[in-house]
Amino acid sequence: MKKIIVLFLLVIFLFSCSTRKKVENVDAELIDVWIPEKLSLRNPLENIGIYEDKVYYWSNSGNKYFLNFYDLSGSNIKKLEFEMGKGPGQIFSNNSTFIKNDQINILDLARRSLLVFDMNGKYVDDYKININDFGQVARNQNYLYFSGILKNKLAKIDLENNEVVKSIKYKNADSIKSFRDIMGKKLRMSSIIIDEEAKILYRGTSNLPYKIEKYDFNLEKIDEFKREITGNFKDFIIEEGTGGSGSIIISSMQTDDKYLYASFGGGQVTERKNNKISLSGIANDYFISVFDKKNGDFLYEINVPSISPLKGVTKLLKVTKDKLFIMVVDFEDTLNDLLKDKNLKAEKNELESRFISSDVKRAIVIVKNPIYQD
């Protein structure tokens, strides 16, 4: 009888192994590339996005901020002007920008506020954010979700009542008072995204080990998605005077009705030389990890040869069944051939010339989504 049971269990085990889907490595073919003109290097990955097939990003001149709108092929649509300052309707620090429900949301951490404007740039409201931390945000209708650097692994903030409804703290949160307390330590902030239809929040790690945590809107943890990766990855370490250096394992995520797409973020080495910032890359092949949203299975690794090896940082802006839209900020030579083939010339604005010694290029790279190709 024991032999029968053991044999039965062995058959079940072998069957489960044989039916487990093998990870597919697929290449994404280049479709197009274009340069977002005069894109500001102030938090460039947090201040660019796509809303209703319009790319939006910031530029600045003098005491003005400009929010630029382009179509997906790079043709200009419009530009909104904003005043710098601390008064109502003014922007002091644009740490992060996203558009939701026809409203422009600007995270101004210097003032601990979320500023809201309509699609014509008219001031609507601002919400105070009662949280002493810096990080990334995502929003649904009534709540702001926050992934912090200092104390808050995740927080849920009621915007109307300026109340932290729930916060998941890091283990040593009580000992962290300011940025000085994390100098020389690994970056803990992680990218977050809301899947509105599924009512799910995903949090993807910036440093190794590779992990994506799945939460409901009440910040109850549901699942973890994991995979093994190999490459020239360096821990991202916070450094005084430069911000930090290292690899960004997951910089951004997007979803469709079946899959969660997690983009490798690249890496940077930041140094201060002759009172200017010098930026260089940490060379690695660029990839997007694709998981089954329901069960967390790692199904596909999408490779993009046209931007590999990557020597800069990236953000996955949009996913459709036909195309993937990737923002690339290149610190060395990743984009050289692409821009040359398109007769495009990288530009350096006045602010960069004053404070950055490196020749930083940026482009929006559009490739085919290979997992839906016949």
Instruction: Give the helix ranges, DSSP H, for the chain.
Output: 2-19, 336-341, 350-355
For residues 317-329, one letter each, b for 16 or more C-beta atoms within 10 angstroms of the residue's C-beta and e for the rest, the string is bbbeeebbbbbbb
Closest by CA to 229, choosing from 255, 247, 246, is 247
Contact between 69 and 99 under an 8 Å Cβ cutoff? The reply is: no
Question: How would you list the strands of the sheet with 152-158, edge to edge?
Answer: 135-139, 143-148, 152-158, 163-169
* Spatial distance between the Cα atoms of 86 and 253, rounded to a whole number of angstroms: 32
* Per-residue pLDDT tens listing for the chain (374 residues): 544 444 444 444 444 444 446 889 999 999 999 999 889 888 899 999 999 999 999 998 888 999 999 999 999 999 999 999 988 889 999 999 999 999 999 999 889 999 999 999 999 999 998 888 888 999 998 899 999 999 999 999 999 998 999 999 999 888 888 888 999 999 888 999 999 999 999 999 999 999 999 999 999 999 999 999 999 999 999 888 778 999 999 999 999 999 999 999 999 999 988 888 899 999 999 999 999 999 999 999 999 999 999 999 999 999 999 999 999 999 999 999 999 988 777 666 666 777 788 888 999 999 999 999 86
Q: Which residue has the tokens 């939701």?
A: 100
Distances (CA, A) of 174 to 137, 150, 181, 303: 22, 10, 11, 41
Q: How many residues are given for the chain? A: 374
Q: Which CATH class is domain 22-372?
A: mainly beta
pTM above 0.75, yes or no: yes
Contact between 35 and 372 under an 8 Å Cβ cutoff? The reply is: no
Closest by CA to 83, choosing from 37, 142, 123, is 123
Q: Where are the domains of the chain?
A: 22-372
* Spatial distance between the Cα atoms of 139 and 156, rounded to a whole number of angstroms: 9
Q: Exposed, middle or buried, 14 (CB in 10 Å: 0-12/13-18/19+)? A: exposed
Q: Which residue has the tokens 């901020």?
A: 65
